[in-house]
Structure 1
Amino acid sequence: MLSSTARTRLGRSKERGSTDRNDLYEILDAGLICHLGVVADGYPMVVPTGYGRVGDTLYLHGSTGARSLRAAAGGEVCVTVTHLDGIVLARSVFHHSVNYRSAIVYGQARLVTDEEERMAGLRALTEQLAPGQWDYARPPDRKELAATAVLALPLDEASVKIRRGAPSDEDADYALPMWAGVLPLVTAWGEPLPDPALADGIGIPVHISDRK
């Protein structure tokens, strides 16, 4: 179960909240991009970035020179992941909404210095975007690792919110002669586009072709 804190406790639409840790895992594992919120040089900053999960730790990465990563290391951060599942069209504009799954994680980000954990975090990041790619591609060399910062964020303090289903209209509006319902939104993979510099005879690897 997710423990409620002052930062994660819902103030509105409490019925959409979930304290099931498995819902948190599902939302994180289904995502590709998160938004990292930090305070850098006295100003708020929100950066979209890749991530990966290993157990109850979320891993983020970026250039060692990135202002957002420098501000996040050792400081309090906020990470969000959101899936938009549909547009909810009600009979009144006021009750229009969206179906979604969202997770917010708060905590102190830790700069990962242990080499084994750094590699595990980078593997998780790569596998989040393209399962099977870590074992297929060339691993990072020493120079590339030196230019890369890896952050670890514990999943100790998190909030989950989910909306599903039909519109909720005022009782009197259900008699109005107008359409209401949900426009589902689905994200799908397109056909892989080969690199123009690809050598002849190299086909699409199975772990890429099977994900379509």
Structure 2
Amino acid sequence: MSLPLSPTERTTVRRGHARAADDREVLHALLDDALVAHLGVVVGGDGDGDGAPYPVVLPVAFAVDLAGPDDGGTLYVHGSVAARWLGRSGGATVCVTLTELDGLVAARSAFHHSMNYRSAVVIGAARVVVDAGEKQHALDLTVDHMVPGRAATLRPSTRKELAATAVLAVPLAEASVKVRAEGPVDDAEDVAAGTWGGVVPLRRVAGAPEHGADSHDRVPEDVRRRAVALGAPADH
């Protein structure tokens, strides 16, 4: 059984606190489902012509090692060493968010329209991964997060490729999770008026894998399984 979430002052849910999850397994399940995270960092203000500090929020591929070396497990974010924001995040406090949208909630008033969702906020001091073994492990996890089992079928990364890739590690200890999974919450007089209210469910659905222009082999089993798990036809 996993430990409960322990929000700090920075991760305490204040608005809509009834939707806050306190079970760390809810966080782990969201990290398993989500494919894209958003990394928030502060850049500039360091004398290199960037001017005053300013925030940047960027979509990133990610992976998780719940037994990783950081407090609460490790969230890995990867990018190019040419991205100055990534390399300069080492030692800085960053914010990583994830959101999975599950439905559009059509209420009986504009005020009560909403969305069903699962979201997480992770805040922590980022660590630039310099150990080659840990970096390779993080990149393998990132590939396997997209297509489970894929990393084992690929050639090893070259030293040049590893040198061109930056990996940030963020501890999972300081996190919060919110979940909304219900219909519209309307005022009684609006319900009595008879206007329709309800939910449009949303889900991510994959299509059949498409061959690259220079790929003529059969779709490998790991890719086929992943596509089917995401809703692609089983007979492709």
After TM superposition, is the score higher than 0.5? Answer: yes
What SS is found at the alignment partner of 1:65?
coil
Residue 68 of structure 1, CA deviation: 2.2
The whole-number CA distance in structure 2 between the counterparts of 1:188 and 1:138 is 29
Deviates more, 1:158-167 or 1:129-138: 129-138
Q: 1:37 aligns with which of 28, 36, 40?
A: 40
> Gaps spanning 5+ residues in structure 1: where?
none
SS in 1 for 2:88: helix
| Structure 1 residue 140 displacement after superposition | 1.2
**How far has the Cα of 1:139 moved from its partner?**
2.4
In the alignment, what sits opposite 1:76? 93
1:30 CA drift (Å): 0.6
| d(CA) in 1 for partners of 2:149, 2:7 | 36
- Give the CA deviation at 1:105: 0.2
Please list, as runs of the form range in 1=range in 2, the aligned pairs for 1:130-149 lying within 5 A after superposition.
130-149=147-166
Alignment-derived partner of residue 67 in structure 1: 84
2:206 — aligned with what? 189
| Residue identity in the other structure for 2:56 | M
- Opposite residue 97 of structure 1, the aligned amino acid is S
Residue aligning to 1:206: 221
Tell me the percent identity. Answer: 46
Structure-2-length-normalised TM-score: 0.87
Matched pairs, number? 210
2:137 paired residue number: 120
Instruction: Give the partner amino acid of 1:46.
Output: V
Paired residues of 2:136 and 2:162 also in contact (CA < 8 A): no
| Cα contact 1:89–1:181 (8 A) shared by 2 | yes
What is the Cα deviation at residue 128 of structure 1?
Answer: 0.9
1:110 aligns with 2:127: yes
Separation in 2 of the partners of 1:8 and 1:24?
13
Mark the runs of 5 or more structure 2 residues left unpaired by the alignment. Answer: 45-52, 67-72, 229-236
Aligned partner of 1:141: which letter? T
Task: State whether residues 111 and 150 of structure 1, in contact with CA within 8 Å, keep that contact through their aligned partners in structure 2.
Answer: yes
**Counterpart of 1:26 in structure 2: which amino acid?**
A
Give the number of the structure with larger relative contact order, counting CA–CA contacts within 8 Å between residues 6 or more apart. Answer: 1
Query: What residue is the counterpart of 1:20 in the other structure?
Result: 23
**Residue 90, structure 1, aligned to residue 107, structure 2:** yes
Contact 2:124 2:174 in 1 (8 A): yes
TM-score (norm 1): 0.96
What is the root-mean-square deviation of aligned Cα atoms in Å? 1.0
Q: Provide the rounded CA distance (Å) in 2 between the counterparts of 1:73 and 1:54.
A: 19
Q: Which residue of 2 aligns with 1:46?
A: 57
